[in-house]
Each structure stands twice: as structure tokens, then as C-alpha cells.
Chain A
């Protein structure tokens, strides 16, 4: 039996890992927006292969190691998705295209995948256990209760975005957080389709037909989402905003890849799918309204409006056509896995919300000119960088200071309109938050250091 733990300790993965560290799709770029879906900057350089044997605990989700591992896992799954350029292949496209989908590169990724999955999803095992004699009656009562409570509460995301000082930027940042999932909507479901698994196979296909717009491109859910992005002034190119995907947003998307590609998790998927379909109508109704209020009545909100209607069907279909017949056929023993799927989606949803709110708070402060560090900053260690030098968006593990000793530097946290810091200005980035920077003038000198090391003494 091949065991991931043994592989890790045998160092058999080491050469593959080095190959991935040096691979072209994972190298850094120099710009805020990615120009092709085949570029997936993933900074593995500081992660030794041993980092894979250490799970990302719940309290470590908002760290740089978690971001890198989650970028990696997301990219591994995404090699299963075909992306083609929007126009003719440029020479660079052709090269990048072949590199991203190169069989050797895919094989190396596939080989480390179980270890990365273990590192990223262990926190679900830590947090969730389902036990006891569950029956269909329990499951239904449980779902009903969760759903009633959920629908009795107005969306906190909508409230926070509405009340933000920069609501448009906040709303866009939210759309970016769901983009890793929605830009290739239902690709995870597509992974669940191959095979031959009885009547529920056909029931799942019916949901899939809706997701893919009945073979009409204009109705495909990913197409609707692209139109929403464009209508609020965002770029709809696949993963153009890759750099701003928070670790929790990546994890949420990867979770559905995980439970659809790991076939024994089928029952968990059925539960998770039910919950995701179930919560969409209530949220989307509110978010659609918010987009119209913020960006005008002409905003293309069809993506959200469409789901208000169709996901009421999907919720019912998931319960009556997937869950119920499955339990009837295989017995109550499959219910706990379904409950786990429901709870895992809820937990990941909550984490993504927390991550988003904290990032939003930082962006609000940054853009409102309020993120200055407390006390003076010692600029002695500031380093000179040429114009265009790029500090890739990353998570700060501890409170960190970014200070400009000379010149101009753009700083952003995901609001997409970087704030320009000038000589003598500084910002503090709270622990767990993402930040990126780009030198905007020749010969700028800047300092990027943990707060504890940057404070001026005396």
C-alpha cells in the first residue's frame, strides 16, 4: 500500500518537489494582473518538501505557508480544466499553454497532490466529527433547522459591504473571492460525472445541464458571471486577479475538487452540494440588490438573479433526487458523510467570510489613509529597488510594516486601486492579511519588515 506519510519521510518526493519549485508556471510575475491562465505564481522556494508533512491548522489558515499550499493545490486541480485564450495564441501563450498542461509537470503535481491535500484539509478532520445513529428523519430536521436559521438572518457580507467607506471596491473584492470557483462554475460537478452509478447519476446530470446553460453559451453560469464582472468594471479573463485570491477562497474551491475527485467522498459531496445549492437563493437575492444599488440599475446581475430561481430547484433536486434515494438504497450508514459535507461547506464558508472581512478592514484602512503604524519606524534597513520592482501579494504572518524611505511605492490589499506611498510614509499590515507592492519611481528605497523589527528604538 502506497502511503503519503511514508513517501514524505522517504524523501522520494524531494526531486519532484525541486522540479515544481523551478517550474515555469509557478514563477513570479511583475504585474498586479496575470496576463494568462497558464501563469500561476506559486512561491515554493521557501517551502522545503518537509513543509508538506505539517498540516495547516485552523489557526494557521491565514498565513503565507497556507496561501502557498492553497495556491499549489488549487493549481493542481485546475490542470484538469481546459482554458483557451480569448483570441489567437500569441507565441507566449503557446509556450505557456504547453508548459501548464505538460504531462511531466502534471505528473509531478499529481504525485505530490495527496500530501498537499492532507496538509490543506486536515483542519476539517480536526474540527468536524459526525457520530451516532443518524436517520433520514434526523438529517431532514437538521437541514431544515440550519436553513431556517440561515434564511432568517440578513447577509453579513452584504451589510458590511454596504456600510464600507469604499463599497464598490469591497463589492469587487468579494466578486474576486468567488471567481476561483465561478469562472469555471460546476467544473467540480463535471468531475463527479464520469462513471456509471445508477439513477442518481442521471439526477446529477440534470443539475449539471442547468449549470452549463443547456448547451447555450450565453446561459452558461460561468458566462453569466463573466458578464457580471465586466459590468462592474472588472476583467473577466480567467484568473486575472489570481494574486488576490485569499487562502480561504482557494480552499473552498479546492474542497469541491477534492470531494469530487476522491471517489470515496461521493456521499460527502452529495451533502456539500445540497448545502451550497440551498444557501444560494437567499444570499444571491441580497447581493444582486447590492450590486444594483452600488453600480446602478443597469448592472448585469443575471448571474445572481438566475441562481435565486434555479437553485431552489437544485436544492430540492439534491435532497429529493440525490440524498433521499441514496439513503434508501445504501442505508442510514451513508448519512454521517453527508452531514460532514454540509458542515464542511458551512465551516469553509464561515472561514472565507472571516478572511474576507479582515482583508476588507485592512483595505478600508489602507485606502482611507489610516493604516499608519503606531510609533516611529527605523528606516535604517530600507533597500533600494528599481522602478517596477514587484512584491507579490502575500500574507503577512505577523504584523508587518511597509515604509518608504525614498521615492514612490504602490501598495494594495485587493481593492485594485493601489495607494501610493511617498517618502516618509508607512503602513502597518495586520497579521494574517495580504499585501502587495510595486515600486513606482526610479531608485525608491523601501522597508518591508515585521513590526517588531522595524520599530525605532529609544
Chain B
């Protein structure tokens, strides 16, 4: 496992090796998800955020990833001030 940092703000992103992570606001709390659509793994960070429903429309086939979908892709994170740290598997 390793720890990676990213800025604690909505839509912040970090890329490590083959994986991308995206920070999104859910119910007023910042959380970090795997940046992959539930359908075919499209880049959610390149999709459209809906402020009202807090969901993301994927740019590839335009499926809506609801908060529940996004929740399934959460990774462990901790926010300290304006820095978020996530704990993710080692590469390879």
C-alpha cells in the first residue's frame, strides 16, 4: 500500500501509474473515488458534474454515475487542512 496526496477540493485529480483518482463532493464531504465509469471504465473526470444530484455523466457513452455508483468506487482518504491523502494498492 502507499499514500498519495492531492489537493482537498472538488474535482482535484491525481494520477499514479495506470490509475486515476478523482475528488468529489458528496453530501458536503470531500471524498476520493477511482476515476472510472461503472460502465466501461470511462474517465469520469472528463465527464459532466451535476451539482444538484451530485452525479457524473460519463463522456464515453453518457451513462449517469449516481452518488451510489460513485460511493462504490471510494478509496480510503483523510483530509488534513487543504490536503487529502489516499491509501491505495501498490503498483503492478
Cross-chain pair count, CB within 8 angstroms: 10
- Contacting A at CB under 8 A, from B42-70, are 59-61
Considering only CB atoms, which chain B residue lies closest to A320 in the complex?
B62
Q: Are A206 and B41 in contact, CB atoms less than 8 angstroms apart?
A: no
Instruction: Give the Cβ gap from A91 to chain B, nearest Cβ, in Å.
Output: 37
Q: Are A214 and B40 in contact, CB atoms less than 8 angstroms apart?
A: yes
- Contacting B at CB under 8 A, from A275-320, are 313, 317
Q: Chain A contacts of B60 at CB under 8 A?
A: 206, 209-210
Instruction: Give the Cβ gap from B74 to chain A, nearest Cβ, in Å.
Output: 22
Q: Are A313 and B41 in contact, CB atoms less than 8 angstroms apart?
A: no
Considering only CB atoms, which chain A residue lies closest to B41 in the complex?
A214
Candidates A206, A210, A214, A313; contact of B59 at CB < 8 Å: A206
Residues of B within 8 A of A (CB): 40-41, 59-61
Instruction: Give the Cβ gap from B34 to chain A, nearest Cβ, in Å.
Output: 15
Q: Chain B contacts of A317 at CB under 8 A?
A: 61
Complex Cα distance A313/B37, Å? 15
Complex Cα distance A258/B59, Å? 30
Q: Chain B contacts of A206 at CB under 8 A?
A: 59-61
Considering only CB atoms, which chain A residue lies closest to B60 in the complex?
A206
A-B interface, 9 closest residue pairs, ranked by CB to CB distance from nearest:
A313-B61, A206-B60, A214-B41, A214-B40, A209-B60, A210-B40, A206-B59, A317-B61, A210-B60
Interface size class of A (residues with CB under 8 A): under 10
Q: Chain A contacts of B40 at CB under 8 A?
A: 210, 214
Q: Chain A contacts of B41 at CB under 8 A?
A: 214
Q: Chain B contacts of A210 at CB under 8 A?
A: 40, 60
Complex Cα distance A172/B12, Å? 51
Complex Cα distance A317/B61, Å? 8
Q: Chain A contacts of B61 at CB under 8 A?
A: 206, 313, 317
Complex Cα distance A210/B41, Å? 11
CB-defined A-B contacts under 8 Å, sample of 10: A206-B59, A206-B60, A206-B61, A209-B60, A210-B40, A210-B60, A214-B40, A214-B41, A313-B61, A317-B61
Q: Chain B contacts of A214 at CB under 8 A?
A: 40-41
Interface string of A169-202 (1 = CB under 8 A from B): 0000000000000000000000000000000000
Complex Cα distance A209/B41, Å? 11
Contacts A206-B60, A209-B60 known; list 8 others, CB within 8 Å.
A206-B59, A206-B61, A210-B40, A210-B60, A214-B40, A214-B41, A313-B61, A317-B61
Complex Cα distance A209/B60, Å? 9
Complex Cα distance A313/B40, Å? 12
Q: Chain B contacts of A313 at CB under 8 A?
A: 61
Considering only CB atoms, which chain B residue lies closest to A314 in the complex?
B61
Complex Cα distance A397/B40, Å? 49
Q: Chain B contacts of A209 at CB under 8 A?
A: 60
Instruction: Give the Cβ gap from A112 to chain B, nearest Cβ, in Å.
Output: 41
Complex Cα distance A445/B51, Å? 82
Instruction: Give the Cβ gap from B26 to chain A, nearest Cβ, in Å.
Output: 26
Complex Cα distance A210/B40, Å? 9
